[in-house]
Structure 1
Amino acid sequence: MVLYSVKKLAQMLLTLLGVITLVFFALRLIPGDAASALAGDHLSAAAMAELREKLGLNQPLWQQYLQYLGHLFQLDFGNTITTSLSIKGLLSKSLPITVLIAICTVVFSVAIAIPLGTLAAYLANRGKKMLDNALMWLAMVVDLMPSFWMALLLMLLLSLSLHLLPATGPISFDRPEFMLRRMALPIAVLSISQIASLARITRTSVLEVLNEDYVKTARALGTPSLAVVFRHALRNAALPIVTVVGLNFGHLLNGTVITEFIFSIPGVGTLLVNGINSRDYPLVQNVILVYAALFILVNILTDLVYKKLDPRVQF
């Protein structure tokens, strides 16, 4: 386990270095820079050159890259170019909101999708194809719906028409009841597609396990069918499900970018969109770095869950 952890840590550092390098140079291929975004079209060439020098944008790319790496090694994320605010301070306020939305989405989707997929597998195994096909077709249709379209639809229905949930407003941890109502729509939008895909994976995994000999033996011993499915088959079919849940968490971080922007959630996704629009290189680089670190961390935790679910798994 110790050797595995060391290898994973080394892979994580190399992956983050690759992400940092790719994002750093890719951002500078985009036409325009932070000075152009700040100055607009009315600044003279001399004033523009002075502004670029002040912002450090006139230095060679390799020098800017080495300076950025030096600051990262010191865990110094620096300040935003456009507002001069501390990036670490901005992340400390926005990251808990994004992580909370992602965790709530995973918990909500798992609580619905796994029983739904397991029930579909049970129905298919018992020969009730019509109900099984209906559940899977519904999941497939929902999975194909674009998240931004679903966000607008739920906003129109639940917020503007029925006035059940707020679509805008401040988010404060001091008022948890209002915060949960405020985040209910984003969580619902992100959960719908997660539920659909996870239910189909669960159905396939459990259906394969239901044909194993130990399941037939448990049924022959008189164990109730639902107990066999949920107590024995589901546990042995859990590894593919855990894999999908871990990958979905990483995709959720991407999905929150659009969802947070639509619902005006002050999370990391909103920071990223604002940074891209203003060509704020340090902000965009560090936000993507945080996204990459979270994604890698979730994958490591998924591997550890493998070992907990099945002691036969070797790293």
Structure 2
Amino acid sequence: MLDYSLKKFAQLFVTVFGVVTLVFFTLRLIPGDAASAMAGDTMSGEALELLREQMGLNEPLGRQYLDYLHSLVTLDLGQTITTRIPVAELMAKALPVTLTIALLTILLTVVIAIPLGTVAAYMAHKGRSRLDNLLTGFAMIVDLMPSFWTALVFLLLFSLTLGWFPASGAVTLDDPAAFLARIALPVLVLSVTQVATMARITRTAVLEILSEDYVRTARAMGWSEFRVLFRHALKNAALPIVTVIGLSFGNLLNGTVIVEFIFTIPGIGNLLITGINSRDYQLVQTLIVFYALLFVTINFATDLVYRALDPRVSF
């Protein structure tokens, strides 16, 4: 276990270092910078150069890179280039919103997808292919729908037409009821694709287990189909399902960027788009490194859950 953890931390370091380097130099290949984005077409050449000098954008690229690495090592997230607001302060406000949306999405996905996939596997095992094909086909169709399209459709239907959920407004944790109503549509949009993917994986995993000898033995002992299905088949099919849950959490980080922008949710995703539009290198770099760290950490936690679910798993 210790050797495995050390290897994982080494992989984490290499991954994050690669992400930091790639993002740093890729951002600077994009035409324009924070100074030109702030100046627009109204500022003269001399004034623009002075603004770049004040922002530290005229420093040699190598020097900027080393300064940024030093700030990461010392856990100094710095300030945004455009507003001079500490990046840590912006993240502290946005992170609870994004994490709440992601956790509620995972919870809703698990509650719907796992029973749905398990029932579909049972129907397929019993030869009731019509219902199984219906569930599987619907899941595949939903899985193909892009998040931005689903978000616009849900916004038009549930907010503008039916008026069930607010399309705009303040997002604050001070009023839990208003906060949940405000993020309900983003959670539903993100859950749609996740439910389809997890239901298909659950169906495949459980269907394979239902053909095992110990499942037939459990039936021969007189146990109910419900107990056989959910206590034996689903429990032993948990490893691939846990894998999908871990990957789904990572994919949600991508989905929240689009969904938060469409629904004007002040989370990490919306903050990232704001930083990209304003060419705020410091903000964008820090947020992407945070995404990379979170994704690698979730993968590591998923591996630990494997061992808890099945002691036979070897690291």
Other-structure match for 2:148:
148
1:67 maps onto 2:67 in alignment = yes
Report the Cα distance in structure 2 between the residues aligned to 1:111 and 1:149, rounded to whole angstroms: 24
Indicate the SS of the match to 2:9: helix
- Is 1:113 matched up with 2:108? no
**Which amino acid in the other structure matches residue 11 of structure 1?**
Q
Amino acid paired to 1:109:
T
- Aligned counterpart, 2:35: 35
CA distance in 1, matches of 2:74, 2:167: 39
CA distance in 2, matches of 1:87, 1:98: 16
The Cα offsets for residues 5-38 of structure 1, whole Å up to 9 and x where unpaired, read as 2221222122111110000000000000111101
Partner SS, residue 103 of structure 2: helix
> Which amino acid is 1:170 matched to?
A
Partner of 2:14: 14
What residue in structure 1 maps to residue 282 of structure 2? 282
Deviations 1:99-131 (A, max 9, x none): 111111001001100000000000000110001
Gaps of 5+ in 2: none
Shift of the alpha carbon at 1:174? 1.3
Provide structure 1 residue ranges, at least 5 long, that are not aligned to the other structure. none
How far did 1:3 drift?
2.5
Distance 2:110 2:30 in 1: 39
2: distance between equivalents of 1:126 and 1:133? 13
Question: What's the TM-score once normalised by structure 2's chain length?
Answer: 0.98
CA distance in structure 2 between the partners assigned to 1:131 and 1:48 by the alignment: 65
Which string of whole-angstrom CA distances, capped at 9 and with x for unpartnered residues, describes residues 198-227 of structure 1?
Answer: 000000000001111100111111111121
Query: What is the one-letter code of the residue matched to 1:99?
Result: L
For 1:121-136, list aligned pairs within 5 A. 121-136=121-136
Q: Distance in 2 between matches of 1:191 and 1:228?
A: 28
Which deviates more from structure 2 when the two are superposed, residues 191-200 or residues 8-17?
8-17
Identify the range of structure 1 (147-156 vs 20-29) with the bigger mean alpha-carbon deviation.
Answer: 147-156
- For 1:1-315, list aligned pairs within 5 A: 1-315=1-315
TM-score, length-scaled by structure 1: 0.98
CA distance in 2, matches of 1:5, 1:99: 25
* 1:144, distance to aligned residue in structure 2 (A): 1.0
What CA RMSD, in Å, does the superposition of the two structures yield over aligned residues? 0.8
1:232-272 deviations in Å (ceiling 9; x for gaps): 01011111111111011101000000000000000000110
* Mapped partners of 1:4, 1:69: distance in 2: 27
Please state how far the C-alpha of 1:2 moved relative to its aligned partner: 2.4
Which amino acid in structure 2 is aligned with residue 41 of structure 1? D
What is the CA deviation profile of residues 45-93 of structure 1, one whole-angstrom value per residue up to 9, with x for unaligned ones? Answer: 2111111111111111111000001111111111111111110000011
Aligned length: 315
In 2, the alpha carbon distance for the partners of 1:178 and 1:2 equals 46
